[in-house]
Structure 1
Amino acid sequence: MHVLAKAKSPLSFITDSVLDLNAINFWLQKVNPLWSSNKALGKVVQKDTAAEGMVSLTIQVNRHFKFGQAGQHHPVFAVVDGIRYERTYSLTKLDAQHVLLTVKTLQGGKVSTWLAERAQAGDLVEFGAPFGDMVIHAMNQPLVLLAAGSGITPMLSLLKDMAKQNQLKDQPVHLMYWVKKQSDAAFVERFEKLASKHPAFSYQIFYTQEDVADSRLNASHVEQLTDVEKSTVYACGPSGFVSIAEQLFSHAQSFKSEAFSMSLMANDDIGFVNVTLTQSNKVLSIPKGQSILVALEQQNIKPKHGCRMGICNKCACNKAEGSTKNMVNGAQNTEPGNLLKICVNSAQSDLVIDL
């Protein structure tokens, strides 16, 4: 008996071809750079200076892009010198097809330097799904926004959305914004216009390195405010700034924060511990005092990760056994069965983690 091979129908051929999404995307983007079968892509259409060392990129997005809520962050994927990197940025929605990405150049930052200095109109970036809970819900109580440096970007998004939703009409909102020098302050004209149009909105900018320097965030700034106990407070900036804000506003009705860079605590831990990876069935020796993510990467283990700052939770995994220390705030965790962010925690004892 002969077995006859069944000829593929034209539909089957097309189906098999479509399954190669990379090939489909390649040819789609030959026609239009923003066309894709599955990727959220954006094209730079305008580049403006926002402040000293800071630029705002107006980006046109395709139909796969998912707009987040004001104040949320997006993973941003960029190819720099042939290598694909992922970083996290807060975006501001401009209209149904455009977002504003504002970025400050960081010393040694490959993606921030590329975006701020090298990206031009026509360049493409890819986006991931939005995340973060520093968003505005319907509320009547006063709102205090605390920002340092590029922590101002989610605040702009929040304020723009509140103005659009008419929430700035009656709800008291006060923005306090810290930068080094006047040339570092971004979006000042936007805040001036909001304040002139909405009497319930006010703002202050503090310059900490001018000849007549303003003080960094301290208790005197809290004393300037009224009804803190009835206020919702949002803070965004370096982790040291956010940590101080959390202490000073512990009596606020509600406090939410996000830190965009880590200020690591001094760490004198020495020695090595064993970490057991249950999924890959490996046991490795890693140093104490170093982030678990970095330690694993140095041994050619590539865990899933995103922001590397403890924000996005992509690197979080279950810790079955062992003790860890948070490298940002020094908190130790010895309890089993906890979710562990390996980018901002170091091992204090032998560990068993679900990787």
Structure 2
Amino acid sequence: MHAVLPRKSSIGTTLVESVFDADAANFWLQKLNPLWSLNQALGKIVKKQSTAHDTVSLTLKTNSRFEKAQAGQHHPVIITHDGRRYERTYSLTQVDEQHVMLTVKKVNGGVVSTWLIDHAEVGDIVEFGQPYGDMLLPQDQSALVLLAAGSGITPMYSLTIEALKKDPKAQIHLMYWVKTEADVAFKVTFDQLAQQHANFKFEVMHTQTQPTDARLNESYLSEIENLAQSTVYVCGPSGFVSTAEQLFKAAKTFKSEAFSLSELVSDEVGFIEVTLTRSQKTVSIPKGQSILVGLEQQNIQPTHGCRMGICNKCACNKAQGATQNLVTGASNTEPGNLLKICVNSAQTDLVIDL
């Protein structure tokens, strides 16, 4: 068999597509160069370094199919491990035209984070999906207040770098909660930026060292100048995000993203029935956990992506029933609403369009 080399011309692409289907073409192209693909956004790890406790930053060279994200957005990151494909969502940082940085903190029991930290090596290939997310730099000149906990720092890192690049005088206040000093990611960069820009304020709160800093509460509001004219972005665990949503209601703009869910404290027990109109099935799932998890436990595999309520891949129409958001605690009893099944639990019997 003659090797078919990729060409930039449409004639070359058409020739390849006429000889192979996409999967077969990708197989043979990647025998020649692991980054070549007709339709896959791929990255090759070219550098791996530890940036904090249980945290690594991977620098990847991307191919021409990779779509750059705006600062603050996320990419689906897809790996193959033990013959299975796993997809998780991470915020990437653009290093230059051909390279991005993926920063990962290990999650207990997390297949993807464990593989990326403990097993990924220079030369390994990672696949990417299309970027998404609307936590972008504001178009106006409002002050930017960034609140991060744990690995929620990664989109804030990109936003800070891009904001100061566009306007070195941009007013930015970054508040970052970690367990210990060893958990602080990007510390050297943030300290340097704070020295270079008087308008950039960087604070780290340690929740498991002595003396212990307070977790996010109303006392921190006094540190924010002119909250009503500020844009507030928050990223962290669901409890952190929910607290911030209550505290910063007065902000000019507020946006948040939760990277993990905490089951709400509830005395409710038992099961509810979910009717799936497309597949014509009715199943019982527990109250208090996400609808997505409950369906998966019944061997139903709905389409999903980030599992954080950001990408909307799992969203479907709710025809009947009441749900509760696992991030904010908000209840919804209205029919005909878009339902993100990854971040909502069922409170009554449901009818959904799946």
Partner of 2:347: 348
Q: How many angstroms apart in 1 are the aligned matches of 2:31 and 2:255?
A: 44
Q: How far did 1:13 drift?
A: 9.4
The answer for the alignment partner of 2:258 in structure 1 is 259
Q: CA deviation at 1:295?
A: 2.1
Q: CA deviation at 1:16?
A: 4.6
Show CA shifts across 1:254-279 (max 9, x none). 11111111122123433333322222
Matches within 5 A, 1:214-253: 214-253=213-252
Matched ranges for 1:86-97 at <5 A: 86-97=87-98
Cα distance in 2 for partners of 1:175, 1:127 equals 28
Tell me the equivalent position of 1:316: 315
Instruction: Report deviation, 1:116.
Output: 1.1
Alignment of 1:47-62 (within 5 A): 47-62=48-63
Question: What secondary structure is seen at the aligned counterpart in 2 of 1:261?
Answer: coil
* Alignment-mate amino acid for residue 19 of structure 2: S
Contact 2:323–2:333 (CA<8 Å) still a contact in 1?
yes
Query: 1:327: which partner in 2?
Result: 326
- Output aligned runs, 1:43-122, within 5 Å: 43-122=44-123
* Equivalent residue number for residue 163 of structure 1: 164
Q: Is the 8 A contact 1:316 1:340 kept in 2?
A: yes
Which position in structure 2 is the counterpart of 1:29? 30
1:297 is the counterpart of 2:296 = yes
Tell me the TM-score normalized by structure 1: 0.92
1:188 to partner: Cα distance: 1.1
Q: Quick one: structure 1 residues 251 and 14, their matched pair in 2 at CA, closer, same or farther if it must change by over 3 Å?
A: closer
Letter in 1 for 2:217: N
Instruction: Tell me how far 1:59 sits from its aligned partner.
Output: 0.8
Deviation at 1:218, TM superposition (A): 1.8
Amino acid in the other structure paired with 2:76:
P
- Could you say if the C-alpha distance between residues 319 and 174 of structure 1 is closer, same or farther in structure 2, counting changes exceeding 3 Å? same
Partner of 1:40: 41
SS in 1 for 2:328: coil
Residue number in structure 2 paired with 1:3: none
Distance 1:217 1:290 in 2: 25
2:91 counterpart SS class: strand
Partner of 1:5: none
Match of 1:181 in 2: 180
2 CA distance for matches of 1:282 and 1:24? 38
For structure 1, the 5+ residue unaligned runs are: 1-11
> Per the alignment, in what secondary structure is the counterpart of residue 69 of structure 2?
coil
Matched letter for residue 311 of structure 2 = C
CA contact (8 A) 1:148 1:238 kept: yes
Q: Contact 1:265–1:329 (CA<8 Å) still a contact in 2?
A: no
- Greater alpha carbon shift after TM alignment, 190-199 vs 323-332: 323-332
Q: What's 1:133 paired with?
A: 134
The answer (yes or no) to whether the contact 1:268–1:289 under 8 Å persists in 2 is no
Deviation of residue 184 (structure 1)? 0.8
Taking the aligned partners of 2:51 and 2:160, their CA distance within structure 1 comes to: 17
Give the gaps of 5 or more residues in structure 2. Answer: 1-13
Distance 1:178 1:290, change over 3 A: closer
> Matched residues in 1 for 2:17 and 2:184: separation?
53
Which residue of 2 is the match for residue 269 of structure 1?
A: 268
Name the aligned partner's letter for residue 148 of structure 1.
A
Contact 2:92 2:102 in 1 (8 A): yes
- 1:286-341: CA deviations, max 9, x gaps? 33333221222222221101122222211110011222222333322211100111
User: Structure 1 residue 15: deviation in Å?
Assistant: 5.3
8 Å contact from structure 2 (residues 48, 58) kept in 1? yes
TM-score normalised per structure 2: 0.92
Assess if the C-alpha contact under 8 Å between 1:74 and 1:130 holds in 2: yes
**Does the 8 Å contact 2:241/2:327 carry over to 1?**
no
| Deviation >6 Å, runs of 4+ | none
Preserved CA contact (<8 Å) 2:45 2:58: yes
Contact 2:138 2:231 in 1 (8 A): no
CA–CA separation in structure 2 for the residues paired with 1:196 and 1:339: 46
Instruction: Give 3-state SS (helix, strand or coil) of 1:212's partner.
Output: coil
Q: 1:14: Cα distance to partner?
A: 6.6
CA contact (8 A) 1:142 1:173 kept: yes
Cα deviation for residue 232 of structure 1 reads 1.1
Describe the SS at the equivalent of 1:96. coil
State the match for 2:9 in structure 1.
none
